Amino acid sequence: MADVTTNSPRLILTDTNFRLWLPLLWIGVIAAAALLAPLIAPHDPLAQDLMLERLPPFFMDGSEPGYWLGTDSLGRDVLSRIIYGARIALFVSLIAATTTGIFGSALGLIAGFYGGWADRVISRLVDIWMAFPPVLFAVLLVAVMGTGLGSVIAAIALIDWTRFARVIRAETMVQARMDYVDSARIGGARRAATLVSEILPNVMPSIIALLMLEMGIAVIVEAILSFVNLSISSDDPTWGSMIAEGRGAIHFAWWVLLFPLIALFMTVLSFSTLGEGLKQRFDPVLK
């Protein structure tokens, strides 16, 4: 018999790997900034110095050495605030996306695999949930629960679990029709064991892709809530609050707005690209 050795496609470098390495690189930079913030931030992100207000970034006339990206209208160092802001952004996105992902995926798996009333209840809940405009919903939730990072995380999980539930339910239904599910039954597997050890590994790439997307969304939601002053206290350096402050000063200190906006945009883009890239990379049948 001909031995068709198709060596694992996972190890071959292709163009699509750019979609993996570029976002990974950026996220690595942001993660390093977050972890090492006290060591690498050139200034205290909260230190105000009215003598140094609205310094332009290093490549412009009138810049001060050491204030690479300039200062805001209270004289705080923009680069240091972005670095400290990365801490909050990553912390929120990590916790919020994981919570949302576990909760939503579990419901999606159950609905898609067991069908029947479990599916009807979960699907109806998703429909009702999705009828609320999400941003309004988030603002409402945080207003009720009080400001703070915990509320932001809870709001993201409470709103966005439906994304996981919907997508994972549909994927699970597709997988549940595969013969390997019958095959597991023939092999004496219990229903729950089939769901966890047969179907879940096949749905995992989608869950991971969604998780990455969700991390990006969490960064945005946190920024929006900071922007409308519903995240943590406005003194703390979050990208959203920096953007909010920068917006007021756009005509005479555009850098206060632009640099956190770039950090935010790149991070969100990186997460969603990474999600897609990972999904492709872990698809076993994709050649």
What does the binding site for another protein look like in residue numbers (CB under 8 A)?
1-8, 178-180, 182-191, 197-198, 201-202, 204, 284-285
Rank residues 204 and 258 by Cβ distance to another protein and give the closer one.
Answer: 204
Taking the C-alpha atoms of residue 202 and residue 206, their distance in angstroms, rounded to an integer, is 8
Rank residues 203 and 220 by Cβ distance to another protein and give the closer one.
Answer: 203
> Smallest distance, Å, CB 9 to another protein?
9
Alpha-helical segments (H) within 36-115:
37-40, 78-114
> Smallest distance, Å, CB 277 to another protein?
19
> Smallest distance, Å, CB 114 to another protein?
13
CA 173 vs CA 87, 176, 181, 263: distances in Å: 38, 5, 11, 38
Rank residues 12 and 131 by Cβ distance to another protein and give the closer one.
Answer: 12
Taking the C-alpha atoms of residue 214 and residue 190, their distance in angstroms, rounded to an integer, is 32
Rank residues 9 and 133 by Cβ distance to another protein and give the closer one.
Answer: 9
> Smallest distance, Å, CB 42 to another protein?
47
Rank residues 119 and 283 by Cβ distance to another protein and give the closer one.
Answer: 283
What are residue 238's phi and psi, to 5 degrees?
-110, 155
The token pair at 5 is: 């050795």
The token pair at 129 is: 């949930």
Taking the C-alpha atoms of residue 238 and residue 162, their distance in angstroms, rounded to an integer, is 27
> Smallest distance, Å, CB 12 to another protein?
14
